């Protein structure tokens, strides 16, 4: 196997674990789960709804600013403590779920 690709392949699970750790760090898992709707939509529902659309920046903004109306009547409160970089990382991870 290519000497460059092998370390990248090994690092993929660690990256997913780090992204999941951010979701836990900011308490996103209190209202969202990967495959099951809790208070808010599952991450998979979000990924499916926006698949193929350039939504990373918009979702990152929504994570920080909160919002309402896209998924029902329960609003998502703002999370200003989430850094822009972490919000983009989480948005990229969520939108990549299949």
Give yes or no for residue 31 having a pLDDT over 60. yes
Distance CA 80, CA 85 (A): 12
CATH number at residue 24: 1.10.760.10
Rounded (5°) CA angle 32-98-12: 95
Is the residue at 3 inside a domain?
Answer: no
Is the residue at 91 inside a domain?
Answer: yes
pLDDT of residue 3: 54
Give the 3-state secondary structure of residue 81.
coil
Residues spanned by the domain of 74:
17-95
Residue with tokens 């990373």, as numbered in its chain: 56
pLDDT of residue 19: 85
Burial code (b: 16+ CB inside 10 Å, e: under 16) for 28-44 equals beeebbeeeeeebbbbb
Q: What's the number of domains the chain is made of?
A: 1
Does this model's pTM top 0.95? My answer is no
Give yes or no for residue 9 having a pLDDT over 50. no
Is the residue at 66 inside a domain?
Answer: yes
44-95 pLDDT, tens digit per residue, is 999 999 999 999 999 999 999 999 988 989 999 999 999 999 999 999 999 9
């Amino acid at each position: 196997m290519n000497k460059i690709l092998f370390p990248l392949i090994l690092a993929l699970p660690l990256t997913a674990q780090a992204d999941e750790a951010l979701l836990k760090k900011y308490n996103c898992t209190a209202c969202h789960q990967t495959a099951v709707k809790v208070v808010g939509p599952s991450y998979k529902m979000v990924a499916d709804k926006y698949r193929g659309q350039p939504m990373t920046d918009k979702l990152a903004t929504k994570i920080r600013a909160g919002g309402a109306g896209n998924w029902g009547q329960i609003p998502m409160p703002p999370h200003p403590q989430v850094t822009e970089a972490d919000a983009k990382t989480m948005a990229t991870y969520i939108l990549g779920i299949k």
